[in-house]
Structure 1
Amino acid sequence: MFFGKLLPREGNFFELFNQHGTHISEGARAFLAMLQNYRDETRRGQYHLEVDTAEKKADKITAEVNRLLHKTFITPIDRDQIHGLINAMDDILDLLQDSAEVMQLYDLKIVNEDVVRLGEISTRCCERVQHVVTLLPKLSDPPVAEAALKTCQEIDQLESDADREMRSAMSRLFRDNIEVRELIKLKAVYEHLESISDRCQDVANVIEGIVLENS
């Protein structure tokens, strides 16, 4: 059966997806808290560390999923879909970590409202990713499949919101009288933050494919 349970010795892909989704939300919330408390260097460092911790935990889960793929003969969904989904999810946390690193490496002293707004959109996107992943084991139930598609549409909308916010932020950045080095730093940060929602959309696209191909 398409969504039949794996034998115990084969592990549980859906549970691993859930764990990874939890780390995505944890990392996103820590990243947003870092932005909201950016002026406080101690708290900034604490939240940055939480992002790194979430990313490392998620990496272990990604490795475990890929290991199970090599050992498991029968999988609950297509092997390529499992591989594509876990890697797309992993890309989200990698980018959250990269964004935090860029801000540190560029020695960004303060963050403006545009950075915080993009961070808020990214966090909402990540939380919707966590939610839609929890629906995977029950996609054979039509109302659940419909809820999954609706959540994917919400992620798509948030990605569009991030695009618009970045364009507005870029426009303000080049209109305002900002020192060139700070302009370059902020431009890079904007682009990283907008890309987080792109990676969330990648996850949504994979899950939409799983729903539509197997419903």
Structure 2
Amino acid sequence: MSLNSIFQYFVPKDKKVFFPLFEQASSNVVGMATILVEAVNSTNTASREEMFKQIDKLENKGDELTHQIYLELGKNFITPFDREDIHALATAIDDVADYIHGAANRMNLYKVEGPNEHIKKLSELILQASVDLEKAIKELKDLRNVRNIADSCIRINSIENQADYVFDRAVADLFLYEKDAITLIKYKEIYAALETATDMCEDAANVMESILVKNA
């Protein structure tokens, strides 16, 4: 057992504020990903724009939660696990939210009509990875179900690999079939933002795996 793990037993329960904040942040990301999937599958332009606005509001909420984690990190001498891991995990979760928001914002600003199957598939993969991210984070508070955390991290890694394949196929199709240069650039930027969101989920999973190793 690490020295930091021993210290956490002496931290008053009301001082353990990081876990609820992480859980709220991951739940917020699931909310954003859920709305994203609904938006890209909607055939109503007005409804899709309204959903993009909801994503924008949730991204702001995520920023506030991340800022709160950073504040608590500065105020608390003893932390449940390494300070660097707390910072890295908070940053990775915030990055997932940022890239979901970035993709939605680009679709809205670029006036993308009827998102294609590549966008729909990447959005679905983001949601799957976000759900597993939330599951793993909920298990962090006591580290009793290490296997559950590890399994979620493995699934996130697998989902990220699937997203890489979908992204490569999507870009290849653009270069093969899209003749309009402006449209090509628009879609490539959207694909990149969506795929990077899964990369950030993998980053968060890597941090959690590091936490597991350090507390083994």
Smaller-chain TM-score bracket = over 0.9
Deviation digits for residues 146-172 of structure 1 (CA, Å, limit 9, x no counterpart): 211111010000000000111111222
**Equivalent position of 2:181 in the other structure:** 180
SS in 2 for 1:107: coil
Name the CA distance, whole Å, in 2 between partners of 1:41 and 1:169: 23
The residue type paired with residue 15 of structure 2 is E
Matched, 1:68 2:69: no
How big is the shift at 1:6? 3.7
Q: Percent identity?
A: 29
In the alignment, the residues of structure 1 paired with residue 160 and residue 45 of structure 2 have an alpha-carbon distance, to the nearest angstrom, of 30
CA contact (8 A) 1:3 1:137 kept: no
Which residue does 2:46 correspond to in 1?
42
In the alignment, what sits opposite 1:204? 205
C-alpha separation in 1, matches of 2:173 and 2:10: 52
CA distance in 1, matches of 2:55, 2:11: 32
Match of 2:114 in 1: 110
Gaps of 5+ in 2: 1-5
Flag the 1:85–1:2 CA change in 2: closer, same or farther, 3 A. Answer: farther
Query: How do 1:88-127 residues align onto structure 2 when only pairs under 5 Å count?
Result: 88-127=92-131
TM-score, normalising length: structure 1: 0.93
Runs of at least 5 residues in structure 1 that lack an aligned partner in the other structure: none
Q: What SS does the aligned partner of 2:141 have?
A: helix
Provide the alpha-carbon RMSD of the alignment: 1.5
Once the two structures are superposed, what CA deviation does each residue of 1:82-129 show, in whole Å capped at 9, x if it has no partner? 111111111110111111111122222231111111111111111111
1:158 is the counterpart of 2:159:
yes
Per the TM alignment, residue 202 of structure 1 is displaced from its structure 2 partner at its CA by: 0.4
Alignment of 1:11-90 (within 5 A): 11-37=16-42, 39-90=43-94
> For residue 3 of structure 2, what is the aligned residue in structure 1?
none
Q: Aligned partners of 1:155 and 1:149: how far apart in 2?
A: 10
Range that drifts further, 184-193 or 159-168: 184-193
| Cα-to-partner distance string for 1:133-187 (whole Å, 9 max, x where unaligned) | 1010121x2xx11211111010000000000111111222222244222122111
- C-alpha change, 1:19 and 1:177, in structure 2 (3 Å) is closer
* SS at structure 2 position matched to 1:74: coil
Q: Report the TM-score, using the length of structure 2 for normalisation.
A: 0.92
Contact 1:10 1:68 in 2 (8 A): no
CA contact (8 A) 1:21 1:89 kept: yes
1:130 Cα deviation (Å)?
Answer: 0.9
